[in-house]
Structure 1
Amino acid sequence: MQVLFVASECAPFIKTGGLADVIGSLPKELTKRGTETRVIMPKYGDIPAAFKEKMAVKGAYTVSVGWRQQYCGVEELVHDGVHYYFIDNEYYFKRPGIYGFYDEAERYAFFCRAILDVLPHLDFVPDVLHCHDWHAGMVSVLLNAQYRHLPFYQTIRTAFTIHNLKYQGIFPYSILGNLFGLGDSYFTYDKVEFYGDVNYMKAGLVYSDLLTTVSETYAQEIQTPYYGERLDGLLRAKRNSLFGIVNGVDYDVYNPATDPNLYVNYTDAAGKQMNKTALQDELGLPVNPDIPVVALVSRLVQQKGLDLIAHVLEEILEIDLQLVVLGTGEEKYEDLFRHVMHRWPNKVSAHFLFDEGLASQIYAGADMFLMPSLFEPCGIGQLIALRYQTVPIVRETGGLKDTIQAYNRYTGEGNGFSFAHYNAHDMLDTIRQAVHYYHDKTVWFGIVKNGQNTDYSWNESAKQYQKLYEWGQN
């Protein structure tokens, strides 16, 4: 079985979120397990020069974008045993950042077309094209509409993974013909039309042979109007080919015993305590091992439950704890944390940037990890927290519900704390409960041990993907 992942970002080359972590780690595990898996993605200008210098040119071609012929280079790099291909076009991709440009429809139309055009030149014939999120959504449409009649493409099957249904790639009707050369027969409610526009995500859902998303609970949630982002009817219709497989984390990368960013590498409570006191000292907080440190490492947006935190932040800070925040996002939330940091300098340390080194230090130094999301397809923060012996506090939604089991004081089971309703005071009560048990070290270390005993590496999830690839071939 040979699989080609198609995605817009991939760690360690370039990253804005959890998608990049998945694309950077799952192919490694699949390849180890005998499914040769490669990755193809854009060659962005912001990819570090150290990687670009190692890329080997595979070829140069032309790709049709509407009536225009655009240059398309292909470069290859082998990293950690996985082959990566990079689609090169400086006009589309040599820009600061990845997303948010005026011509997103055209950039990823070019990318989807380029994938199919260069496939015969890669010396790698995939059994499955595994496309990820809306940026790759038009691959399956184009394959079926314009390439399937050619012998090379006739046996290729497609899988499509939803990483976040909220972001769909919705663009004006005119792009259908202007960028893809597709006629009005494709602009119907059961194909790519979406309330008068073209929807790249919907295209991937309609035309792919197999659909997955990143947790079992999210697979069920998105079939309801509340979570379905106006695609719930389609997802219910496709439910027999929709599967939820929880994401994992790369245990080689996220490993407190070897992480080079930490103050002290550790495997036990004593080593973690050393990281905690070093973090408190580094951030200018009072060094006190008896005060629990609660971490928030997140995009500062509503989806992540920031409005819940804002509603009861004053009450949270009345608890005997320290709050450490790392992330960027909406100005109102950044201003909120700036304000409370000014009022409670001995209780709050907030940092508005993306810094993986500091993030690792926070995961290692914190006692609790707060993740009260409005919705969460899978979430990676809570899995990293478990890996670093930090106890998650989450809302029961999506992958958070699938991976964090609330502590049960009668049985001793559970690897964290959780609340069900999207309610600020339910969250506040759960934080208070966690702080209460933090001071009972017998209970607390039992919860930490339960977290250490849960395996959220890619091992089990990779097995499930392999079974689906085989199922999709039948």
Structure 2
Amino acid sequence: MQLCFSDKQKKVFMNGKKVLFVSSELVPYLPENPVSLMSYEAPRMVNSNGGQIRIFMPRYGNINERRHQLHEVIRLSGMNLVINDMDMPLIIKVASIPKERIQVYFIDNDEYFKRKATFADADGNLFPDNDERAIFFAKGVVETVKKLNWSPDIIHVHGWMASLVPLYLRKYYADEPLFSESRIVTSVYGKDFEGELDTTMIDKIAFDGIDKEEISALSHPEYNNLLKVAVDHSDAVILAAEELSDDLKSHIDNLSVPVLPYVSLQEAEEAYTNFYNTEVLK
């Protein structure tokens, strides 16, 4: 039986709860699609129901910094992240979504995110360093939240570029006290790209001391396998698409964590709030 709460009850349940949203894409900074729309709607729902939020996304080169008034946060920038034995400078930028008074943090690096596209070139070919971009993004988010000294109750992950966040939190940052009580939720969307990322991705993650057996699926780093690794290290899963591959759906069905079935955007506020309160935060 699905529990239903009034608006007043939802505010009480979410009041003061801290939710970190980590997303591949977000409107209004990128075009509308299922990931970018829900990555906007979910934080808006929590914000309007009394929760505290932080949103992180990559600062792709096709985001218009002037139009959206992005500016660098010097006190958070300046750190180097080691990616496959290379020092890569971390730049943090911030902007606000005026209509909602929601602040968004952008993970930036000239090598990974300066190009004027998100995931693929003009011919539709995936960028060959998408694997390193995903590793950099995951580590950049966690390191920035550590600098903010902000301990989230829920960490909600959207989109494949963010899919390594659960793995890194549970393995690389396993001893970080700031996240010891955090619950990780991964939203699973329909297949977002064809083909595979760089086949040495598993070695680059193993460089960070993560056992290859934990991520054996990434021997073939295609979309479904990235999401399998994400849900394997999550405390709850949300099905954010009506259609998922049989392989991925079967994998999720065999998990021993709460799963929220697909709901429409119109039903999302009620369903997500109930799920957070009764399944994720229980």
Q: What TM-score, normalized by structure 1, do the two folds share?
A: 0.49
RMSD: 2.5
Matched, 1:69 2:95: no
CA contact (8 A) 1:8 1:41 kept: yes
1:23-62 residue pairs with structure 2 within 5 A?
23-57=39-73, 58-60=75-77, 61-62=79-80
CA contact (8 A) 1:245 1:464 kept: no
Letter in 2 for 1:194: A
CA contact (8 A) 1:192 1:202 kept: no
The Cα shift of 1:179 comes to 4.2
State the match for 2:275 in structure 1: 468
1:39–1:247 CA distance, 2 compared to 1 (3 A) = farther
1:137–1:54 CA distance, 2 compared to 1 (3 A) = closer
CA contact (8 A) 1:177 1:183 kept: no
1:39–1:133 CA distance, 2 compared to 1 (3 A) = same
1:96–1:3 CA distance, 2 compared to 1 (3 A) = same
Q: Quick one: distance in 2 between partners of 1:31 and 1:149?
A: 29
Question: What's the % identity of the aligned pairs?
Answer: 22
Deviations 1:434-467 (A, max 9, x none): xxxxxxxxxxxxxxxxxxxxxx2xxx42232222
Q: What TM-score, normalized by structure 2, do the two folds share?
A: 0.80
Q: Quick one: distance in 1 between partners of 2:169 and 2:112?
A: 22
Q: Quick one: distance in 1 between partners of 2:273 and 2:83?
A: 34
Query: Which ranges of structure 2 fall in alignment gaps of 5 or more residues?
Result: 1-16, 121-126
1:78–1:180 CA distance, 2 compared to 1 (3 A) = farther
Letter in 1 for 2:240: V
The Cα shift of 1:171 comes to 3.6
Runs of 4+ displaced beyond 6 Å:
none
CA contact (8 A) 2:18 2:53 kept: yes
1:59–1:180 CA distance, 2 compared to 1 (3 A) = farther
Deviations 1:39-65 (A, max 9, x none): 100112211233453435152122121
Q: Count matched residues.
A: 252
CA contact (8 A) 2:167 2:233 kept: yes
1:296-307 residue pairs with structure 2 within 5 A?
none
Deviations 1:68-124 (A, max 9, x none): 121111122222211210111121111111112121111111111111111112353
Deviations 1:399-429 (A, max 9, x none): xxxxxxxxxxxxxxxxxxxxxxxxxxxxxxx
The Cα shift of 1:195 comes to 8.1
Letter in 1 for 2:216: E
State the match for 2:107 in structure 1: 87
Query: Which ranges of structure 1 fall in alignment gaps of 5 or more residues?
Result: 249-455
Q: Quick one: distance in 2 between partners of 1:7 and 1:212?
A: 14
1:213-252 residue pairs with structure 2 within 5 A?
213-214=239-240, 218=242, 222=244, 227-228=245-246, 230-238=247-255, 240-248=257-265
State the match for 1:193 in structure 2: 216
The Cα shift of 1:245 comes to 4.1
Query: Who wins on radius of gyration, i.e. which is larger?
Result: 1
Q: Quick one: distance in 2 between partners of 1:150 and 1:123?
A: 11
Using CA pairs under 8 Å that are at least 6 residues apart, name the structure with larger relative contact order, 1 or 2. Answer: 2
State the match for 1:157 in structure 2: 183
Q: 1:133 aligns with which of 138, 148, 159?
A: 159
CA contact (8 A) 1:40 1:85 kept: yes
Q: Quick one: distance in 1 between partners of 2:172 and 2:24?
A: 22
State the match for 2:36 in structure 1: 20
Deviations 1:315-334 (A, max 9, x none): xxxxxxxxxxxxxxxxxxxx
